[in-house]
Amino acid sequence: MSLGPIMLDLEGVELTPEERELLTHPGVGGVILFTRNFRSVDQLEALVLSIHELRSPRLLIAVDHEGGRVQRFRDGFTLIPAAGHIGQVYDQDPHRGRRLAELAAWVMAVELRAVGIDFSFAPVLDVDHGISKVIGDRAFHADPDVVTELGRAWIKGMHEAGMAATGKHFPGHGAVAADSHTDAPVDEREYRDIYAHDIVPFKRLVHTGLAGVMPAHVVYPKVDARPAGFSEYWLQEILRKRLGFQGVIFSDDLNMAGAAVGADTFAERAELARRAGCDMLLVCNNREGALEVVEHIGDPRDPVSHLRLARLHGRHEISRQQLHSMGKWQEAVATLEKYQDDPTLAFDF
């Protein structure tokens, strides 16, 4: 069975009978986990194993585990500093900032790999314009060149741990105040301004390690009337053709308010995203909507998307016992614990 184009969420800390059946549908290819799916590290590892046992090839398992405000699992996991704090370290010492980004990404990724999770939706490659609260310190910096440097270091750390990287939110969410989770953001800038600024990190990193890209639920009306995730222009003409991206394009969550622009039903949202070029559709926190998308998609059998998705399976299998005995992990965790939220610390790497 191939990997289908739908990524779903789960209700709790273990699979229900309904979820077991749903996850075997050929249209499903992955699961995204949230804090509600986490009670302990042992429980999480058992949940991941139960998902992997359902299918061959196994379903992809993902999580938003960027660090800072967006880190779904905490007890038993190392706290990862927000990207914006890493940017502050870079301003004091670029070498130390790059090293911290690589170290934090490696710890984040290797701890997730040790419980069987394939990848985290990271890094955030948005440029911080000082406008967006939902992005804010999730972005590394206000300078796209610095975002690129730290993004490259972050990707390197993820790869060393055996995890693929997904950059978000193409072509840039940082210049709008509205939150696409609850509103429909509109960015009134001209294409040339977006391309010369916000797209820079994506343009430079698509050939240096990005396996996935997630577009923003933002409308750029001077470019296209549809949100970027529903726009053939943004995804096909710019991301695929102009930038040459060959990896997986993920929709952002189709349950978000920003996904409702021009599409009332979940089936319509799914269809628009697929036509635009999304390989995998996220439908979260709305089981009725998820079932509507699953029924609409049916059995898609897309070998190109399947091959792209299969490359996201985690590598470098490692047990928690092996991880915790590694001197590198012990030293890295000690460094991050000293750092916490204080970017002024001058420890060595």
3-class SS shares of the chain: helix, strand, coil, % to 5 = 45, 10, 45
Verify whether residue 252 is a known catalytic residue. yes
Closest among 272, 296, 287, 177 to 215, alpha carbons compared: 272
Output the six-digit token pair for 250. 């993920």
CB-based contact 113:161 (threshold 8 Å)? yes
- Determine the Cα–Cα distance for residues 62 and 59; give it in Å rounded to an integer: 10
Element (H, E) at 15: none
Kindly name the residue from 52, 181, 296, 313 that is annotated as catalytic.
Answer: 181
Beta bridge mates, 63? 33, 120
Q: In what order do the strands lie in the sheet with 28-33?
A: 119-120, 60-63, 28-33, 6-8, 281-283
State the Cα angle at 213 between 207 and 219, rounded to 5°: 125
* Beta-strand relationship, 248-249 and 210-215: parallel
Q: Which of 118, 252, 253, 279 is catalytic?
A: 252
Is residue 52 flagged as an active site residue? no
Residues marked as catalytic: 181, 252
